[in-house]
Structure 1
Amino acid sequence: MTGFAVQQKANIRRHDIDALRALAFGLLILYHLAMVYVHEWDFHIKSSYQYDWLHWPMMFVNRWRMDLIFMISGMSTAMLLQKMQQNRSGTANRQPGFFWQRTSRLILPLLFGMAVVVPIQPYCQGVANGLVAPGFWQFMAHYYSGYHWPAGAFDGWQYGFTWNHLWYLVYLWIYTAALLLGRQLARIPVFGEMATRWRAAFLGLRGWQLLALPAGLIFLWAGTLQLAYPDTHAVVNDWYVHANYFTLFIFGWWMGGDTAIWAELARLRKPAIAAALVLFVVYRVVADMLPDEAAVWQLLTVWALRSLYAWSMLCALLGWGHALLNRPFRWLPWANQAVYPWYILHQSLIILLAYWLIPLKLGGAVEALLVGAGTVLGCWLITSGVVARVGWLGVCFGMKKMGRPAVASFERAKA
């Protein structure tokens, strides 16, 4: 078996992975809400109420939130491909290939989201900046026609359009394509043997080695790529982000077909969370002590602590998730279907509601509560009231095709 192979085991539903995916995207919504209010952190729109105390909780989450999502995406990819391979009999042979399935589930929602859902974000940002004239439909006419926007009008003004938070879909599609290409290359003996050794080495880690050694690879990418290729989420020249997230995607891919490493993560969950908490405090204290013109060795020290913290936190989350969440919660069927459209919708709703409410000067707590509650309510109403009921619209939002029985099951699960 090569490192790019999928283990052929009984297709047992991993409720903990489903639950972690839903919780990770729920945390993403909360994180983006907080971005409106954290002091000195750039975002598409900022409240007049901004708070320094948000820095530490935001930093606590920032260093692993997308790492977790890409790891879970790798696990889900392994399980989806395994399920397809097991179902290749009879009429199932006529189903489209896995790559085209993933393309339809990722690229179609991306294009739809960029055309319909995301434009409200650059509009609100541009008007709030004073660089776009009020009038949404006039803005949309310009937006679709390749208009030359004023410099700094909104994130992505150089290109005339933006995908904003939907960059994840593009990156996940690229990593899925690279993974499938790797599986083809693994048929060549030398590549297959290399991939098998890497996979076996990772899955064979136990104890402190599991909590520490993978962080070395994360640190390697930071030490060699981060300064030269800072985050852009624009695909091109985003090499540090690609190296980091693709590595975690592959880790997730390997873990998706294994059982022993999950038992080890569950066993290590208490020391993992203890290590993560200690490492976070040390990392932040050392980072806050850095001078403005830090030497390379000082940066490397901080990045090493950050890498150890992020990886130990990932181990803790996966271990606790496996111990506590691997059960068929009633809300999981609904969450599995709703998580995708909620992800696509949430940031546009946050920015739109903040754009409306910021001028009212309601106070920071009231404003944030209204933006957060309105975002959740809006995601729920649009997803459950419209998207889940209109077949073609559900496909545009990345939901699986649902016949009437599946829609009824969706409705019962969210009740």
Structure 2
Amino acid sequence: MNTNRHYGMDWLRIGAFALLIFYHIGMYFVPWGWHVKTPHPMDWVQIPMMATNSWRLPLLFLVSGYASAALFAKLGGVGPFLRSRSARLLIPLAFGMIAIIPVQPWIELVTQHDYAGGFLHFWSRDYFGFGTLEGIVLPTWQHLWFVVYLFVYTLLAAMVLAAIPERARVAIADGAARLLAGWGMLFVPLAAWLTILFAFPGYRETHALFDDGPNHLHYLVPFFIGWLLRVRPALFDTVARCWPVAAVVAIAAYGYVAWALWAAPGEGPPPEGVVTLFMAIRLVQGWAAIVALVGVADRFANRDHPGRAMLAEAVFPFYIIHQTIIVLVGYWLLLGGVGPLASFLVLVAATIAGCWAFYLGGRRVGWLRPLIGLQRKARDRPTALCQPSANISGG
């Protein structure tokens, strides 16, 4: 393994989570179901949203796999790796579910199901009921489902590493790297995705962990490839050869996706069990875009910057708080009858300001740091901000 830090993957991760924030702001305006909605959703918003819809989450799992492999190599064993991941993921998850998330289902119940109780009544009486209320499972992890899935995939990786001798692990990694060599990086993962699509036609994401099997298979593909990119960095040479073609394929596929949405903006999902051309092209767009983005990050962004370390550390706190800010501010905008353009500008400004306040305030308070996903501050570790363990995707 090349132990040099790949700054391009850091920037890719920072950009992916920044994009996630803007995507969730867009959820306020798009016709798709969400926790709080503008009174007049706009069909055209679907078109820019679908530019990233097929690859934004798989890309997060890919950079998570890469950084998880880096952390495992740094800690040098399954035990330390699992202890680090458990503390850095499960503590913020519990804190988020108790203190950060509850306002989201309350607002959804109030605005879409005529729930009459105030927030304190909801939090003390209904939220911890361990059941459903108007179809909403309570308590809930909402957008923190990504943390749950990442921990499970981390646990799975640790189990595999513990069960397979090192020589066998090396042979498996070498074999997988050979499979992805050449144009395999573009075609093999895409073939896996298409196989999952046709094996489970029409499956819907639930983010509920135990009934989301096809979705797990879908996300484990990029997670494994991200891990492999770290342990077999020569694969970046493969990416370098094929990413320009992948970029062209991604743009062309998105052209079809955008045209399909423009031609039939209000068309609902197909019948259960039906695989459409739109679904397949969307997967082509998704994987080709990921290969292109990794190639761009490797070619043009593999360099450090004075602000990188802070941005890398800020990602997890931003992720924890951003959706609650969006839903809460969106609720106030809904009550105030604010128009779409003003609502968008307010949501962007409030979310960015709120995320920075949450991060900058929490990082200064020792006991808050683990709750918001930051490493405990050690007086004798002045370079802690630069460690890969200081982020959600790595450890």
Partner of 1:3: none
Identical-pair percentage? 30
Residue 371 of structure 2 corresponds to residue 371 of structure 1: no
Q: Which residue of 2 aligns with 1:77?
A: 68
Q: Does 1:105 align with 2:83?
A: no
Q: Structure 2 vs 1, CA of residues 147 and 215 (structure 1 numbering), >3 Å: closer, same or farther?
A: closer
* Contact 2:325–2:354 under 8 Å retained in 1: yes
Shift of 1:330: 1.7
Give the aligned partner of residue 231 of structure 1.
205
CA distance in 2, matches of 1:210, 1:247: 12
Does the CA contact (< 8 Å) of 2:201 and 2:273 recur in 1?
Answer: no
CA distance in 2, matches of 1:280, 1:213: 20
1:26-71 deviations in whole A, cap 9, x for unaligned?
0000000000001x20110001242211111111111000000000
Q: Which is worse superposed, 12-21 or 28-37? A: 12-21
AA in 1 matched with 2:307: W
Say if 2:200 and 2:273, in contact at 8 Å, map to a contact too: no
> How far did 1:301 drift?
3.5
**Larger Rg: 1 or 2?**
1
Secondary structure of the structure 1 residue equivalent to 2:13: helix
Paired residues of 1:33 and 1:372 also in contact (CA < 8 A): yes
Q: 1:140 aligns with which of 123, 129, 153?
A: 123
Q: Aligned partners of 1:137 and 1:295: how far apart in 2? A: 41
Deviation at 1:387, TM superposition (A): 0.7
Query: Greater relative contact order: 1 or 2 (C-alpha under 8 angstroms, separation 6 or more)?
Result: 2
In structure 2, the residue matched to 1:398 is 373
The residue that corresponds to 2:393 in the other structure is none
Alpha-carbon distance, 1:408 to partner? 9.9
Which residue number corresponds to residue 48 of structure 1? 39
Query: Cα deviation per residue 1:259-281 (whole Å; 9 max; x = unaligned)?
Result: 22213323433222111101222
CA contact (8 A) 1:112 1:396 kept: yes
Contact 2:9–2:63 at 8 Å: present in 1 too?
A: yes
Residue 184 of structure 1 is matched in structure 2 by 162
1:368 CA displacement: 1.3
Give the TM-score of the pair, scaled to structure 2: 0.89
Aligned to 2:389: none
User: In the superposition, relative to structure 1, how do residues 269 and 109 fare at CA in structure 2: closer, same or farther (>3 Å)?
Assistant: same
> Structure 1: which 5+ runs fail to align?
1-6, 89-94, 411-415
CA shift for structure 1 position 404:
5.2
Kept in 2, the 8 Å contact 1:216–1:307? The answer is no
1:272 aligns with 2:246: yes
1:387–1:406 distance in 2 versus 1, CA, 3 Å:
farther
The match for 1:281 is 255
> Which runs of structure 2 are paired with 1:7-26 in the superposition (5 Å)?
7=1, 9=2, 11-26=3-18
Structure 1 residues 318 and 360, CA gap change in structure 2 (3 angstroms): same
Measured against aligned partners, the alpha-carbon deviations of 1:98-156 in whole angstroms (never above 9, x if no partner) come to 1111011111111110000001111111111243224221221114541766424xxxx
1:273-315 per-position Cα deviation (integer Å, ceiling 9, x unaligned): 1111012223454688799796999725333322221111000
Which string of whole-angstrom CA distances, capped at 9 and with x for unpartnered residues, describes residues 313-368 of structure 1? 00000000111111111221111111001000000000001111212122111111
Provide the aligned C-alpha RMSD in A: 2.8
1:66 is aligned with what amino acid? L
The SS at the match of 2:248 is: helix
Aligned counterpart, 1:240: 214
In structure 2, which of residues 83, 87, 98 is the aligned counterpart of residue 115 of structure 1? 98
Q: Which amino acid is the alignment partner of residue 18 of structure 1? A: D
2:130 & 2:5 partners in 1: Cα distance? Answer: 48
Using the TM superposition, give the Cα deviation of residue 81 of structure 1 relative to its aligned residue in structure 2, in angstroms.
0.9
- Could you tell me which of 126, 132, 150 is aligned with 1:172? 150
| Structure 2: runs of 5+ lacking an equivalent | 386-395
Match of 1:27 in 2: 19
Q: Which moved more, 1:291-300 or 1:387-396?
A: 291-300
Q: Deviations over 1:160-187 (max 9, x none)?
A: 2211000001101111111111122322
Partners in 1 of 2:130 and 2:156 — Cα distance?
34
Give the alignment's TM-score, normalised by structure 1. Answer: 0.85
Code of the aligned partner of 1:181: M
